[in-house]
A and B are shown apart, each in its own frame.
Chain A
Amino acid sequence: MESTRSKWLWIAASALILVWTVFPILWIVMLSFKRPGEIGNQKGFLPHAWTFENYRTVFRTDLFTAALVNSIGISLIATFVGVVFATLVAYAIARLEFPGKKAILSFALAIAMFPVVSLVGPLFNLWRDIGLYDTWPGLIIPYISFALPLAIWTLSAFFREIPWEMEQAAQVDGATTWQAFRKVIVPLAAPGVFTAAILTFFFCWNDFVFGISLTSTDNARPVPAALAFFTGESQFEQPTTAICAAAVVVTVPVVVIVLLFQRRIVAGLTSGAVKG
């Protein structure tokens, strides 16, 4: 009896949380299918007349398509570079003894705790002086530095899980430290690398503060920032529905990535390495 009751409690609680989190998303999806004139005039959660007009508008706008290219490019580059750095750093932290190890970890944590907004002003000035303002590298650099701490912490936890013997076995088998790292440690840490990559990608993809402050044109402006400049098709109507459509468009890759890689993230690849 006890178990069925607790089961129902769990189901109820999960349903509540599901509604809580899914409802806003559904709302945005619904809004994106409404006609621009519907908002404020007609009540109702579901659109009175379903339309793809907003999506067409979004993709016809240069502002949005340019921003989409920027977002994808900047996020991918920042993720790749950040994860490569983080992998090397995390390996060193997990495996090697060197002075200042603690300092690096605490520094990384301190950076993660730093309020992003407080850095935007100085960066804005600095970037304008050295010509990085409104360029891809101008966004990639701060993204990497803010994503690194989380990636380092995640990855070093993964590296610590890998038995030391794996690497020693590789060394005895004739591998250099680099070969042992590349052929044994990195494949084993793949779930960790994926996790770190996805977290970094989300951070870059969702960022708004840097995106709006360090760009001024289509050169480098990412989607979240671009949405704020959205005017819609007609200046006589609120662009709410078009913004919602754009929001849905930028959410889709995130959902796809999570669905694609969730098995990689949770897979415990190390099973079978040692006795079991």
Chain B
Amino acid sequence: MAAISMKNIVKLYGDGFPAVNEVSLDVRDGEFMILVGPSGCGKSTLLRMIVGLEDITSGEMRIGERVVNKIAPRARNLSMVFQNYALYPHLTVFENIAFPLRLAKVPGDEVQRRVTETAELLELTEHLERKPAHLSGGQRQRVAMGRAIVRQADAFLFDEPLSNLDAKLRGQMRTEISRLQRRLGVTTVYVTHDQTEAMTLGDRVAVLRRGVLQQVGSPRELYEEPVNLFVAGFIGSPSMNFLPASVDRSADGASLHTPLGRFELRDPRKAAAIGEREVVLVGIRPEHFEDALLVGEEKRLRGSIVQARVDVTEWLGNELYAYVPYEAPPDVAAQLRDLSRELDSDQLRTQAVVALDAGSLITAGHDADLWIDTSRIHIFDPATGTNLTRDEERVAELSRVAEQSRDAQRRAQREAPDPAA
């Protein structure tokens, strides 16, 4: 086990395109780190640089105490699960899992013992003599994991390991990976573009955009206190709504004119954060809207009510999505479109997605009163995309909470018997 530390890592491709640009990231010993971002953001490249399959153009990569920039993959003592599993089709499941041990010239009975244990852990025992071609997707996935955990590697690296599985299996394997990682307590770097995986698996999540690291933090920090438009839009599904707003200042704060209507910004800290800006982008998560009819008196006072025409509704049983199209100034609309394209969603029109209580009777084609929880909104600088209302105190508190829960998990894992040791 070892910490992985990256300092100003750069990867330039032949044509001078920086796939990874000045990334500095510390993965602590035993930590589960997620690398996430839209396709082409450099997350897989970064992972492959850790494992040694890509050269590092500049910067310093350390695993434990060792600088590994020039060390061959085989000497880095890391194990990796590939997106397409990369099982050896000519070998049985047993020999696939035993492969790293055979290369390390581990004695035969030791190999037998460790492979059997690993197979038990992953429930592969009855498949040991079969070839990968005869296994189902989930079984192949488990063989790939078995090959990774069978030797005492310093860290596990996962490159979108679940993307080839169907939704149900993906859920199962996700829990499985999480359980396994906590149990073995091995430093793990996990690349994904899946929201749920990013939010549920990681101790911390690193968001990348065009090769540049945007934010590193606990899933909750990224969700509640994103540093910029990109992170805010990327984390969460459906993603955060961004409304252009012009600012009206008054004695006790500010009010914001948005295409959905006008509302007060009562929090003086947030009002102050706007500074001298005339126009800002307001970020509201879909779940911070509610059908005004279903909001109690006390809660109603915490927010504001706007009236908007609902275009389409989607009733999902546990909640109701309503789509509210709005007009935005052309420059802002273009900026939002660029952002949504970058987030792989490619939204054609400017619309707000609101998630309402499933009991709401709002129907498409009618005007509806929507309550907005204004205490939860974020305000972004339209030019730079920076989050102006990020609450540093809350960030510190969230990371303290995350730290505590991580410690608790590690303690629990240390006390539990470890069958793979």
Given contacts A173-B99, A174-B100, A174-B103, contact A168 B132 (CB under 8 A): no
Q: Does the CB pair B74–A269 fall under 8 Å?
A: no
Partner of B132, one of A171, A187, A272: A272
Q: Which residues of A contact B73 (CB under 8 A)?
A: 168, 171-172
Q: Does the CB pair B100–A275 fall under 8 Å?
A: no
Q: Does the CB pair A173–B84 fall under 8 Å?
A: no
Interface size class of A (residues with CB under 8 A): 20 to 34
Q: Which residue of B lies closest to A180 (CB)?
A: B74
B43 at the interface (CB under 8 A from A): no
- Could you give, for residues 127-164 of chain B, a 1 whenever the CB lies within 8 Å of some chain A CB and a 0 otherwise? 00001111101001000000100010000000000001
A184 at the interface (CB under 8 A from B): yes
Q: Which residues of A contact B100 (CB under 8 A)?
A: 173-174
Which residues 253-307 of B sit at the A interface, judged by CB distance below 8 A? none
Q: Does the CB pair B89–A188 fall under 8 Å?
A: yes
- Could you give, for residues 42-61 of chain B, a 1 whenever the CB lies within 8 Å of some chain A CB and a 0 otherwise? 00000000011100000000
Distance of A110 Cα from B84 Cα, bound (Å): 39
Q: Which residues of A contact B78 (CB under 8 A)?
A: 172
Distance of A166 Cα from B147 Cα, bound (Å): 13
Which residues 166-192 of A sit at the B interface, judged by CB distance below 8 A? 166, 168-176, 179, 183-184, 187-188, 190
Interface size class of B (residues with CB under 8 A): 20 to 34
Q: Which residue of B lies closest to A169 (CB)?
A: B86
Q: Which residues of A contact B321 (CB under 8 A)?
A: none
A11 at the interface (CB under 8 A from B): no
A61 at the interface (CB under 8 A from B): no
Q: Does the CB pair B88–A271 fall under 8 Å?
A: no
Distance of A184 Cα from B140 Cα, bound (Å): 17
Given contacts A169-B82, A173-B100, contact A275 B88 (CB under 8 A): no
B90 at the interface (CB under 8 A from A): yes
> Could you tell me the distance in whole angstroms from the C-beta of B130 to the nearest C-beta in chain A?
10
B421 at the interface (CB under 8 A from A): no
B322 at the interface (CB under 8 A from A): no
Distance of A172 Cα from B85 Cα, bound (Å): 13
Partner of A172, one of B53, B131, B137, B140: B53
Partner of A274, one of B52, B80, B86: B86
Q: Which residue of A lies closest to B75 (CB)?
A: A174
Distance of A271 Cα from B133 Cα, bound (Å): 6
Q: Does the CB pair B53–A272 fall under 8 Å?
A: no
Q: Does the CB pair B104–A273 fall under 8 Å?
A: no
Q: Does the CB pair B89–A273 fall under 8 Å?
A: yes
Q: Which residues of B contact A62 (CB under 8 A)?
A: none
> Could you tell me the distance in whole angstroms from the C-beta of A182 to the nearest C-beta in chain B?
11
Q: Which residues of A contact B53 (CB under 8 A)?
A: 168, 171-172
Q: Which residues of B contact A184 (CB under 8 A)?
A: 88
> Could you tell me the distance in whole angstroms from the C-beta of B100 to the nearest C-beta in chain A?
4
Partner of A174, one of B82, B90, B104, B133: B104
Q: Does the CB pair B85–A175 fall under 8 Å?
A: no
Q: Does the CB pair A187–B90 fall under 8 Å?
A: yes
B412 at the interface (CB under 8 A from A): no
Distance of A276 Cα from B89 Cα, bound (Å): 12
Q: Does the CB pair A166–B88 fall under 8 Å?
A: yes
Q: Which residues of A contact B147 (CB under 8 A)?
A: 169, 173
A125 at the interface (CB under 8 A from B): no
Q: Does the CB pair A176–B89 fall under 8 Å?
A: no
> Could you tell me the distance in whole angstroms from the C-beta of B201 to the nearest C-beta in chain A?
21
Partner of A275, one of B90, B99, B140, B151: B140
Partner of B79, one of A172, A187, A272: A172
Q: Which A residues fall within an 8 A CB radius of B?
A: 163, 165-166, 168-176, 179, 183-184, 187-188, 190, 269-276
Q: Which B residues fall within an 8 A CB radius of A?
A: 51-53, 72-74, 78-80, 82, 84-90, 99-100, 103-104, 131-135, 137, 140, 147, 151, 164
13 A/B residue pairs, CB under 8 Å, sorted by A: A169-B147, A170-B88, A171-B52, A171-B72, A172-B53, A172-B74, A172-B79, A174-B104, A175-B74, A176-B74, A272-B131, A272-B135, A273-B84
Q: Which 4 A-B pairs have the closest CB atoms?
A: A272-B133, A165-B86, A169-B86, A274-B84
